[in-house]
Amino acid sequence: MAEFTVTPWEVSGEIDYDELMKKFGTSPIDNKLVNRISKYAEPHFMLRRGIFYSHRDLGKTLDEYEKGKPFYLYTGRGPSGMTHLGHIMPWIFTKWMQDVFDAELYFQITDDEKFLFKDGLDLEKAREYAYENILDIIALGFDPEKTHIFLDTEYIHHLYPLALRTAKRITFSTAKAVFGFKNSSNIGEIFYTSMQSAPAFIGSELGGEPTNCIVPCGIDQDPHFRVTRDVAPFLGYPKTTMMYCKLFPSLLGGDKMSSSVPEATVYTTDTPKQVKKKIGKALTGGAVSVEEQRKNGGNPDVCMVYRYFSYMFEPDDDKLKKIRDECRNGERLCGQCKMELTEKINDFLKKHQEKREKAKDKVEDFMLRD
Ligand code: TYM
């Protein structure tokens, strides 16, 4: 079996998502759960297509919701650079959850995490990226009345008591077993997971009663939330509910889209020319020659361009199937797919960048301050 690694700080290799679910001990978001959600709205394509594919305790939280117990949402961003399409995938879904369930959302920006974990990134730069990333979050259309964004270093006054109570329940040996820390790890890294746990409890704390919390995010974040969930009952909070998505791949295939390979990563601030160049070099499932592809067809299952359509840029199931069928039977060549995907991404980015510009005047409407 091919080797792969998924941790909050490293993703490499071709990920076997079923295997990963077994390894982490999470459950599949099966048809039964998707049907339950369809009582509230037509399920988002990321649910229908198994992109948001795994969970912890979702059924239980829906049971309680049905009995009149609301929940709040929590997600986050580690500001180590500009935002790319991989980051906004779970945020688009989170916004959908906010709209459907009319839920409050706490959005943590972990400038502390990125300062601690990333060589050469100073705190000022992490904060600068934080405010750049916040523009992307606002541009996605979250409800300003119900969305509360905060930077760890700025909102620490409220987070610290929760992080402390969490930290007291986590031994060094647990942190080492979950995150693989070494003697050379700095001690801030070892404490950090309690900072990522704190917002899972903040809605309960601010609301004055234990309330369920759902965290939609990439499955790479599960190690943190295993710890959060273990600690929660000791602090008098419900175990945090998780909804996990698969990771948007790099344009060159394999690992997740990541800022460490900028030429295989589409940023929300890219120009149309940059996007065209990057998509032009994407890994496809095309045959070695046009003749062979016309004759035998291509393979959408290994094609990054197709993956980008299905994860984000072709929400219409019928149109997606048409692309797939035409590729398989040789009617459609890679050039056409790349051109269509480039157009779709550039169309999305044009609108996103306009909203991002307007977001500059709205930041304070979203910030949770002391
Ligand atoms: P960060 O900044 O690495 O990622 C932000 C969110 O994007 C997801 N993500 C991806 N999703 C799909 N495809 C990708 N290629 C991809 N790359 C990243 C991440 O899973 C995450 O949901 N420690 C966190 C910040 C954080 C957080 C949280 C995240 C704090 N609290 C609560 C989720 C939920 C981090 O550095 O995320």
Enclosing H/E stretch for 40:
none
Other beta carbons within 10 angstroms of residue 370's beta carbon come to 8
**pLDDT tier at 14, thresholds 50, 70, 90:** confident
Residue 367 maps to a domain: no
- Same domain for 94 and 138? yes
Q: Which residues pair with 241 in a beta bridge?
A: 214
Query: What is the side-by-side order of every strand in the sheet holding 71-77?
Result: 27-28, 52-56, 241-245, 212-218, 71-77, 105-109, 147-151
Read off the pLDDT of residues 65-83 as tens digits, 9 standing for 90 and up: 999 999 999 999 999 999 9
Among 132, 133, 140, 52, CA closest to 98: 140
Counts of helices then strands in the chain (DSSP H, E): 17, 9
- Of the three residues 215, 233, 252, the one that is the final residue of a domain is 252
- Tell whether the model's pLDDT for residue 217 goes beyond 60: yes
Q: If you take atom 6 of ligand 1, which residue's CA is the nearest one?
A: 87
Tell me the average pLDDT across 298-312: 96
- Same domain for 150 and 287? no
Residue 74 phi/psi, 5° resolution? Answer: -145, 130
- Same domain for 235 and 267? no
Domain limits at 352?
Answer: 262-358
- Tell whether the model's pLDDT for residue 256 goes beyond 70: yes
- Same domain for 49 and 153? yes
- Same domain for 165 and 86? yes
Amino acid at 266: V
**CATH assignment at residue 70:** 3.40.50.620
- Same domain for 283 and 246? no
- Residue identified by tokens 């003749």 is 291
**CATH assignment at residue 310:** 1.10.240.10
- What total number of domains does the chain contain? 2
Distance 91 CA to ligand 1 centre (A): 9
Q: What is the pLDDT of residue 138?
A: 98
Cβ–ligand 1 distance for 37 under 6 Å, the answer no
Cβ–ligand 1 distance for 136 under 6 Å, the answer no
**pLDDT tier at 3, thresholds 50, 70, 90:** confident
- Of the three residues 218, 252, 286, the one that is the final residue of a domain is 252
- Tell whether the model's pLDDT for residue 1 goes beyond 60: no
- Same domain for 200 and 345? no
- Same domain for 266 and 118? no
Q: What is the pLDDT of residue 255?
A: 67
Structure tokens at 140: 């996605």
Distance 75 CA to ligand 1 centre (A): 8
Cβ–ligand 1 distance for 285 under 6 Å, the answer no
Residue 116 maps to a domain: yes
Burial class from Cβ neighbours inside 10 Å (0-12, 13-18, 19+) for residue 88 reads buried
Tell me the average pLDDT across 238-265: 88
Residue 343 maps to a domain: yes
Distance 89 CA to ligand 1 centre (A): 10
- Tell whether the model's pLDDT for residue 2 goes beyond 70: no
Tell me the average pLDDT across 352-358: 98
Phi-psi region of 355 (alpha: psi -120 to 50; beta: other; left: phi over 0): alpha
Burial class from Cβ neighbours inside 10 Å (0-12, 13-18, 19+) for residue 91 reads buried
Read off the pLDDT of residues 149-189 as tens digits, 9 standing for 90 and up: 999 999 999 999 999 999 999 999 999 999 999 999 999 99
Q: What is the pLDDT of residue 12?
A: 86
- Of the three residues 217, 233, 252, the one that is the final residue of a domain is 252
Tell me the average pLDDT across 121-144: 98
Distance 217 CA to ligand 1 centre (A): 6
Structure tokens at 84: 């790319």
- Same domain for 177 and 291? no
Distance 221 CA to ligand 1 centre (A): 7
Q: What is the pLDDT of residue 100?
A: 98
Q: What is the pLDDT of residue 370?
A: 82
Q: If you take atom 35 of ligand 1, which residue's CA is the nearest one?
A: 78
- Tell whether the model's pLDDT for residue 342 goes beyond 80: yes
Other beta carbons within 10 angstroms of residue 48's beta carbon come to 15
- Same domain for 76 and 53? yes
